[in-house]
Structure 1
Amino acid sequence: MEMDEDSIRKRKESQNGSTGHSIDSHAQDKQLMKATVLQKDVGLVSGTCLIVGTMIGSGIFISPKSVLLYSGAVGPCLLIWAACGVLATLGALCYAELGTMITKSGGDYSYLNEAFGPLVAYLYSWTTVMVLKPSSFAIITLSFAEYASTPFYPGCTPPLIVTKCLSAAAIVIIVSVNCFSVRLATYLQNFFTAAKLFIISVIVVAGIVLLAQGNTVTLSNAFNGTSSSFGAYGLAFYNGLWAYDGWNQLNFITEELKDPYRNLPLAILIGIPLVSVCYMLVNVAYFTAMTTTELLLSPAVAVTFGDRVLYPVSWIIPLFVVFSTFGSANGSCFTAGRLAYVSGREGHMVKILSYISLKRYTPSPALIFNGLLAIFYIIPADINTLINYFSFAQWAFYGLTSLALIVMRFTRKELHRPVKVPIVLPCLIVLVSCYLVLAPIIDKPELEYLYCAIFIFGGCLLYYPFVHLKVKWARRLIRPITMHLQLLMEVVPAEKTE
């Protein structure tokens, strides 16, 4: 059976008695309260670092090649990068209104639940918790492993087994840190964000120096060879937006954010434009050192740039790319655990996922579950396939969440809106989302899209008996498992908050 508040109190009293120390009742009550809720440990700086640190991962070091390939020329490539930055900013502003209007953790899940009801929210949590979040975690750690192992295999590709084992080790370390302490995880995020901004500054300054020296050949005639394929631009946007993905991550931890009405929109307005400017300048820097052909043939664009421009200290590029991807993976893990935690709290996932560590005040069951799924996904993983699979489903839900904002303007007029964006912005995001979902399917239909759709709607087969009807035999089966896991991990149900 589950631990209730009385059992927690008795346990703490027995612990205090065994140590021989006397603690006043006020301190005991404060400690007891702290044990069963997530703490507000994330301030403006940490929130901004979470956005910046999650957005800047492997994308800017991998995606430039794909964006150029599908757009066909330097000019449209740079325009797509700029458009992706604008789109991410507009989308994040819509999420700022949602996050300050509904101050629950869980991001899109909480907003879809308010606007469309539990079924749509369940399908989002089912897809995101089971596929999107862990596959994103797997993609980032695989990129980390590739960059980290390359120096040990000069002149050849690292063995696949080495890359996957290193990726799994990174997942275990990151999950362990996040289970141990929220504060330690945010400090780690802040450190790696600083490291990312440092290496991006190095690349940008080197690019400015090259421009000043007259290296503008690649940037001249920038629109020669521009692609005319409708679907190709959709795939170019996919890869560009993959580099920008993470702009909505702060909404997943709203309950742990200090003064969310102020810090949520402020962190968005600082973080996303900063990343957009960095990405544009980094791409310009790449084009000052390489021709389009050389960039397309490069196995790692950032490393090739370092070899050409920063020799003999070019080794700092792969080192800081390792830092960058590790930090991005940490941010992804941090927010993924909160989504599983909130959906478990609402009864849309197994109850154990909504429990909190009695000692560490972290949603450790949800974090561990996300890590285990990520390890499962790295076994057969192909990075490019996972990126397309992730983007297709993710943008479908981005569009639905933006639609939720429009719907609640009419159905939930009574809700307080500290931030209110023009309704044209969520309308634009809905239209762009439709394009990003449909264009690649129309241009080049692939089975991955069908599998994704089947998986999403297949969640209905579980929703009706286990969530809607709450069949008794399933509850009897899960209860002893929950009890043993609860005792093993020393976790308790979270207190309900207003």
Structure 2
Amino acid sequence: MGEDQVRNRRPANCEKEQDAQSQESETEKKMQLQKEFGLFSGTCLIVGTMIGSGIFISPKSVLSNVGAVGPSLIIWAACGVLSTLGALCYAELGTMITKSGAEYAYLFEAFGPIPPFLYSWGSVVVLKPSAFAIVCLSFAEYAAAPFYTACDPPSVVKKFLAAAAIIIITGVNAFSVKMASFMQNFLTAAKLIIIFVIVVAGIVLMAQGNTQNLTNTFEGAKLSFGSIGVAFYGGLWAYDGWNQLNFITEELRNPYRNLPLAIIIGIPLVTVCYIMVNTAYFTVMTAEELLQSPAVAVTFGDRVLYPVSWIVPVFVVLSTFGAANGSCFTAGRIAFVAGREGHLVKILSYLSAKRYTPSPAIIFNGILSIIYIIPADINTLINYFSFAVWISYGAATLSLIVMRFTRKDLKRPVKIPIVIPIIVTVISIYLVFAPIIDQPEWEYLYCALFIFGGGFILYFLFVYYKFNWTRKMMRPITLHLQLLMEVVPPEQYQE
């Protein structure tokens, strides 16, 4: 009997040990971002964030700077090639450094703490929330348009709708990663449907002989060093988002496989869609008509899809909402990683104890975005800060070049020819300086002083010297916010 009792005790002890391990695992789970994204969701995040309002509303920004259809289509294709080359660089970086935060993590690994701090300062405070606000304002404009058929929607209505969109998207992303991912997948499918409709309509029109606007396509071209750079800005704004998956590497299942595959699938798909959609536009509009159209896709729908032309603005609303959702999702991860490294207030690095989402960082981004919709015209602000985006892209690809020599010990599941990051870095430098040389304005200097001057001052005051009074001031605020939001500090991330 004694031996039987011992045998009977063993399963109980084993079960207790397993329960303890399970509880310990569950506790650890609450302290880290969860791997909720697979290949399909990752591809949808890239495609859904890249395809926003740009391709439907303002392809005329490219045409207006180059002056002709042929150079315009070449610019759209070249933007796709450049985005693909940049994404290949990010594929190597993302599989080599599997931390979330994209450029922040890569700059930190290659150059130390100061460059990533400057990047996080500019991105978290200005670039990400203002871009989120711009997309939501585009959503609001199209959502309000059916109710104001005789005139433009009032500014206050658009701002309230944009604020409502920001609150809803922020709430969904703070509440559940799975819910935000499902919404992104659904909205990506919706925008691909309307692109398919436009492309098929364009193919039918070309088959019927409507190709007069696609002949002599280089006639009237006005090309210069600066105008090409500005035209690239217009195209690259529509392509922006190709690096979004690198912001959530810690939440990606099997990143060594899924990250490069999602990039290889997503970006060429978007490039083909953009070229074919632009070609479809020119089957029904001359270059002059396209430049005069306030919303190119709506004009196309009115001429080709009547009496069901209403589907175009509906799908544009869904498209902009999806792009805003993707922007919000990734923006929170920059603040989260920067807070985890001590470059922003610690509360931004905390995770929801129940939902495993970086809810403080997401809510912070949402609050700033609502503030940025208050000014009358935020597009001007975006224009002057857009060159900073390509400073960060160029710095990231430069970090890849540097780490080829300084961090040879790092595992590289994906390794691209070094000529690719060199090309992207050189083009990034061109894209930063070409518009400034072509149209020099004081605002570019103000932007640089804000990011670099303000960033250096804040870094040395609050990070390098670590003034005690700031810690004492933030400690009770952090405690109250932690209790209010039910968030906890994360475990240290290990690759």
Quick one: distance in 2 between partners of 1:71 and 1:157? 29
State the Cα distance separating 1:229 from its structure 2 match.
Answer: 2.7
Determine whether 1:491 maps to 2:487. yes
Contact 2:387 2:431 in 1 (8 A): yes
Separation in structure 1 between the aligned mates of residue 243 and residue 223 of structure 2, nearest angstrom? 31
1:157 and 1:319, CA in 2 relative to 1: closer, same or farther beyond 3 A?
Answer: same
1:463 corresponds to which residue?
459
Q: Partner of 2:214: helix, strand, or coil?
A: coil
- Of residues 446-455 and 433-442 in structure 1, the stretch that sits farther from structure 2 once superposed is 446-455
Inter-CA distance 119–24: structure 2 relative to 1 (3 Å threshold): same
Summarize the alignment of residues 55-66 of structure 1 with structure 2, pairs less than 5 Å apart.
55-66=50-61
Query: Match of 2:388?
Result: 393
Q: Do the aligned partners of 1:358 and 1:490 also contact (CA within 8 Å) in 2?
A: yes
Q: Is the 8 A contact 1:395 1:436 kept in 2?
A: yes
Partner residue, 2:42: 47
Larger radius of gyration: 2
- Distance across 2 between alignment mates of 1:427 and 1:497: 31
* 2: CA distance, partners of 1:290 / 1:310: 14
2:411 paired residue among 399, 407, 416: 416
Q: Amino acid of the residue matched to residue 483 of structure 1? A: L
Cα displacement (A) at 1:231: 1.1
In structure 1, how many angstroms separate the alpha carbons of the residues matched to 2:224 and 2:377?
Answer: 25
2:438 maps to which of 429, 436, 443: 443
Out of 208, 216, 225, which is 2:211 matched to?
216
> 1:492 Cα deviation (Å)?
0.2
* Offset of residue 387 of structure 1: 3.8
Distance 1:299 1:235 in 2: 20
* Residue in 2 that maps onto 1:184: 179
SS in 1 for 2:351: strand
**Secondary structure of 2:59's aligned partner:** helix
Q: 1:474 corresponds to which letter in structure 2?
A: T
Q: Say if 2:472 is the partner of 1:476.
A: yes
Secondary structure, aligned partner of 1:218: helix
Deviates more, 1:227-236 or 1:298-307: 227-236
The number of residue pairs the alignment matches comes to 476
Q: Which residue of 1 aligns with 2:320?
A: 325
Q: 1:123 to 1:89 in 2, by over 3 A?
A: same
* Superposition deviation, residue 24 in structure 1: 4.8
Report deviation, 1:471: 1.0
**Alpha-carbon separation, structure 1, partners of 2:19 and 2:250:** 29
Q: Distance in 1 between matches of 2:381 and 2:168?
A: 22
Contact 2:372–2:378 (CA under 8 A) maintained in structure 1: no
The equivalent position to 1:267 in structure 2, one of 262, 266, 270, is: 262
Q: Displacement of 1:228 after TM fit?
A: 2.7
1:453 is aligned to 2:428: no
Percent of residue pairs bearing the same amino acid type: 72
Opposite residue 465 of structure 1, the aligned amino acid is L
Give, in whole Å, the separation in 1 of the partners of 2:427 and 2:57: 23
How far apart, in 1, do the equivalents of 2:378 and 2:67 lie?
22
2:398 is the alignment partner of 1:403: yes
Q: Which of residues 114, 117, 120 is equivalent to 2:115?
A: 120
Following the alignment from structure 1 to structure 2, what is the Cα–Cα distance between the partners of residues 455 and 197?
38
Distance 1:381 1:244, change over 3 A: farther
User: 1:158 offset after TM fit, Å?
Assistant: 0.7
TM alignment of 1:25-36, pairs within 5 A = 25-36=20-31
How far off is 1:481 after superposition? 0.5
Alignment of 1:129-148 (within 5 A): 129-148=124-143
Within 1, Cα distance between the matches of 2:179 and 2:387?
33
Distance 1:383 1:288 in 2: 33
- 3-state SS of the aligned residue for 2:283? helix
**1:159 alignment counterpart:** 154
- The answer for the alignment partner of 1:364 in structure 2 is 359
Following superposition, the deviation at residue 35 of structure 1 comes to: 1.4
What's the offset of the Cα at 1:27? 4.2
Amino acid at match of 2:400: L
Contact 1:357 1:492 in 2 (8 A): yes
Match of 2:331 among 333, 336, 339: 336
Match of 1:203 in 2: 198
With the length of structure 1 as denominator, give the TM-score of the two structures.
Answer: 0.94
Hey, what's the Cα distance between the residues in 2 that align with 1:387 and 1:477? 33
- Distance, in Å, in 2 between the alignment partners of 1:32 and 1:228 is 60
Q: Where has structure 1 moved over 2 Å in runs of 4 or more?
A: 23-31, 381-384
Deviations 1:311-369 (A, max 9, x none): 00000000000000000000000000011000000000000000000111100000000
**Which residue does the alignment assign to 1:20?**
none
The separation in 2 between residues aligned to 1:147 and 1:80, in whole angstroms, is 27
CA distance in structure 2 between the partners assigned to 1:307 and 1:214 by the alignment: 20
1:149 to 1:61, Cα distance in 2 relative to 1, 3 A: same
Shift of 1:483: 0.4
Residue segments in structure 2 that go unaligned for 5+ positions in a row: 1-17
TM, length-normalised to structure 2: 0.95
Counterpart in 2 of 1:236?
Answer: 231
Structure 1: give runs of 5+ residues left out of the alignment: 1-22
Aligned partners of 2:127 and 2:382 also within 8 Å: no
Report if aligned partners of 1:136, 1:390 keep a CA contact under 8 Å in 2: no
Distance in 1, Cα, partners of 2:427 & 2:161: 37
**RMSD of aligned C-alpha atoms?**
1.1
Query: Match for residue 85 of structure 1?
Result: 80
What code does the residue aligned with 1:342 have? Answer: V
The amino acid of 1:488's aligned partner reads: L
Residue by residue over 1:428-471, the C-alpha shift from the partner in whole angstroms, topping out at 9 and shown as x without a partner, is 11111111110111111123211210111111111002101111
